[in-house]
Structure 1
Amino acid sequence: MGASNLLPLVVLFAVVGGVAWVGYQILLYTNELAERGLHKLEKKNVVFTKDGAKVGVKEISAEKYADQTQRAFVKTWNAAQDGGAQAVRSRTK
């Protein structure tokens, strides 16, 4: 009589243990996914802190920035100077 009363208790512990093991495996997998996601975002210069997300900007040297700005200014200037004449020539062709 004593052994037959223990069988449901053993089955209960086995089921609860199985569910706990599956839950633990899900927890490990979700933590791994979160780590992979954070690692990918860090590669893209996005960092999460307790204050929020910080987005980093790739640095550019002052000389390169000045060259790009000057090149854009010169192109705009030339387009403004030649824009009327080019528009008339393209319409007459």
Structure 2
Amino acid sequence: MPNRLIPLAILLLVVVVLAVVGFIAYSIIQEVSNKTKTKMEKRNVMFTKDGMKVGVREVKEEEYVDRSQSILVNMWNHTSFPAYKSRLWDMTGSPSGSGSGNGERRVEQRKG
């Protein structure tokens, strides 16, 4: 009779060990998912049974205009037009006149 109880005791011991390992794994998974959920909710992302909802932060129109305008001003201030020659005005500061030919001589001097 004791010989029949040894395999039963081993089976119960294995089942208990597997249950403990499973419970620990389940606990860890739940903890990680809860921490992830709270971090994502801080960033306006919410997980529901239907799926994921993303909240959009409102930006006032004045703030939007200020941001876009400052970007354009920064771009304008950091650009340069090295070979740009306007038809309307002379950017070099020399007296404008079509007969002077100063600009053409400078270009030739650079090439040659």
TM interval, shorter chain, is: 0.5 to 0.7
Higher RCO (CA 8 Å, separation ≥ 6 residues): 1
If each structure's helix is expressed as a fraction of its own residues, which one has the higher value? 1
Match of 1:5 in 2: 4
Match of 1:87 in 2: 81
Gaps in structure 2 of 5+ consecutive residues: 86-91, 93-112
Match of 2:18 in 1: 19
State the percentage of identical aligned residues. 37
Match of 1:31 in 2: 30
Aligned residues: 83
Gaps in structure 1 of 5+ consecutive residues: none
SS at match of 2:15: helix
Within 2, Cα distance between the matches of 1:68 and 1:90? 29
Q: Pairwise CA RMSD of aligned residues?
A: 3.1
Compute the displacement of 1:71 (Å): 5.1
After superposition, residues 33-52 of structure 1 pair within 5 angstroms as 33-52=32-51
TM-score after normalising by structure 1: 0.66
Within 2, Cα distance between the matches of 1:61 and 1:19? 56
Match of 2:53 in 1: 54
Within 2, Cα distance between the matches of 1:71 and 1:21? 60
Tell me which structure has the larger Cα radius of gyration.
Answer: 2
